[in-house]
Structure 1
C-alpha cells in the first residue's frame, strides 16, 4: 500500500511555454534529471511560475527517457510545444536549453493537468 502524500513543487518556465500551459495546449513539460525533478511523482502539485504569474498543475504521469530523441519518439510533440511545433523545432529548442551534459542526467516528461491560474 502506497502511503505517500502528494508533494508540492515549483518550476520556473519561459513565457511562451507558460502561455501554452495556461491555454491548455501544452500538457507535457520536459526537464532533465536534476535532483529536484527526481522528487516529482504522479499526483504531486506543480506550481509553474513565469515572472509574476503562476499556474498550478497536477502531475498525472512522469516518464523517464535516456535521451531527447527517445523522448520525442515516444511523446506527443503537440503536447510539448503546442499544436504548431514540429519534432525538429522541439529538438532544437530543447537543445538550446539543455546541453549534452545535462541530457546525460536523464530526460523526464512531466505530464500535467491544469488545476488553476493563480494570477
Structure 2
C-alpha cells in the first residue's frame, strides 16, 4: 500500500503590485509574517493568490518555506531581486514594514519560494 499526501491549498490575498509580479513569474519569493495559520505551509503545497476584492487569481506551487527572525534577515538571505525585482532593498523593507508593523514582524518572517503553475 502506498500513501499519497495531498497538497494543501491555501488562499491568500495579495496587493495588485505584487500579484502582477507573481503572475508574470518575476517574483519567486513571497514574504509573510509567521502567523499560526501558516505554520503547516510546506513544499508541495499550492497557494491561490487573489487580488483583494476581485475574482482575479493566480496559482503557485510552494517550493520551499524558510523562517527568519526579521525582514532584514529575510531580504539578505533570499536576495531582494527575488522578493521584488522592481524595487530596491531599502524600498522593499519600507514597503514590507508598512504592511506588517513591528509587532507583527516580532512573530518572525517567512520566505515562501514559489513557482507559477499553469492557469
Whether the TM-score (by the shorter chain) exceeds 0.5 is: yes
CA contact (8 A) 2:69 2:108 kept: yes
Residue of structure 2 aligned with 1:67, choices 41, 65, 70? 70
The alignment's TM-score, normalised by the length of structure 1, stands at 0.91
SS of the equivalent of 1:61 reads strand
Unmatched segments (≥5 aa) in structure 2 = none
SS of the equivalent of 2:21 reads helix
Deviation at residue 4 of structure 1 after TM alignment: 4.1
Give 1:1-119 correspondences, 5 Å limit.
4-50=5-51, 51-82=54-85, 84-117=86-119
Q: Deviations over 1:19-66 (max 9, x none)?
A: 000111111110001112112101001100112201010000001000
CA contact (8 A) 2:50 2:58 kept: yes
Q: Matched residues in 1 for 2:107 and 2:50: separation?
A: 23
SS of the equivalent of 1:116 reads coil
The CA RMSD over aligned residues, in Å, is 1.4
CA contact (8 A) 2:75 2:83 kept: no
Unmatched segments (≥5 aa) in structure 1 = none
SS of the equivalent of 2:91 reads helix
Q: Matched residues in 1 for 2:82 and 2:68: separation?
A: 17
